[in-house]
Amino acid sequence: MNKIVTKLVSAAAVAATLLSVPMSASAAAPFKYGDINGDGNINASDASIIYSLKNKKVTFNSNGTPKKNEVYFSDVNGDGVITDADAEIVLQYSAKSGAGNITLGDANDDGVVDVKDAIRVGRWIANGKQHKKNTEITLNLINANVDFDDVVDENDQDLLLSYLAGNIDEF
């Protein structure tokens, strides 16, 4: 990781820590997209949890926080419902990372990291970063979350654009 990225990640971590203090318990949960059991790895164990949540829908409290973090972070394609497609994304990620072949930044899951991914993340942000059914803005939230926090937002898009502009070499 180069210095710029380290600084950005540190800044994001500090911001997340500061933000998480006054917020509800959901913000402090150990979950990340794809890492449903919170053990720090994205693998078949997480996929099996996702299979067990099949057909569950992502719902939100009135303040915008997810009602169930487990369901929210299982919806790794962001379409608002848990299906086999979400588990398959996790298994695919696990297989690729096991082979040392992580396509971080590949938000649209087409195998390359290019401007289309930045556009896809931009549309996700413009759509309110919500998990909505019937949206055309499905994406691979594991790949899109290039700063490794618990949300795909403007910071991920900025890092992606910096990467595409050649300002950073890796995430």
Binding positions for Ca ion, rule: CB under 5 A = 35, 37, 39, 41, 46, 75, 77, 79, 86, 106, 108, 110, 117, 145, 147, 149, 156
Q: How far is the CB of 61 from Ca ion (least distance, A)?
A: 20
First to last CA, the chain: 7
Report the residue count for the chain.
171
Q: Which two tokens stand for residue 61?
A: 């409290």
Task: Please name which of 140, 144, 141 lies closest in space to residue 171, comparing C-alpha atoms.
Answer: 144
Residue with Cβ nearer Ca ion (70 or 117): 117
Q: Which residue reads 């299982």 in tokens?
A: 74
| CB closer to Ca ion, 54 vs 169 | 54
Distance in Å, CB of 21 to Ca ion, minimum: 19
Comparing CA positions, the residue from 146, 75, 51, 150 lying closest to residue 106 is 146
Helix intervals (H) in 1-138: 3-20, 44-52, 69-74, 84-98, 115-126
CB of 77 to Ca ion, least distance (A): 4
**Beta bridge pairs of residue 35:** 32
Q: Select 2 or 15, whichever has its Cβ closest to Ca ion.
A: 15
Q: Pick the closer one to Ca ion by CB: 40 or 166.
A: 40
Closest distance between Ca ion and the C-beta of residue 120, in Å? 8
For 74, the token pair is 């299982």
At its nearest, how many Å lie between Ca ion and the CB of residue 100?
18
Number of CB atoms found within 10 A of residue 21's CB? 8
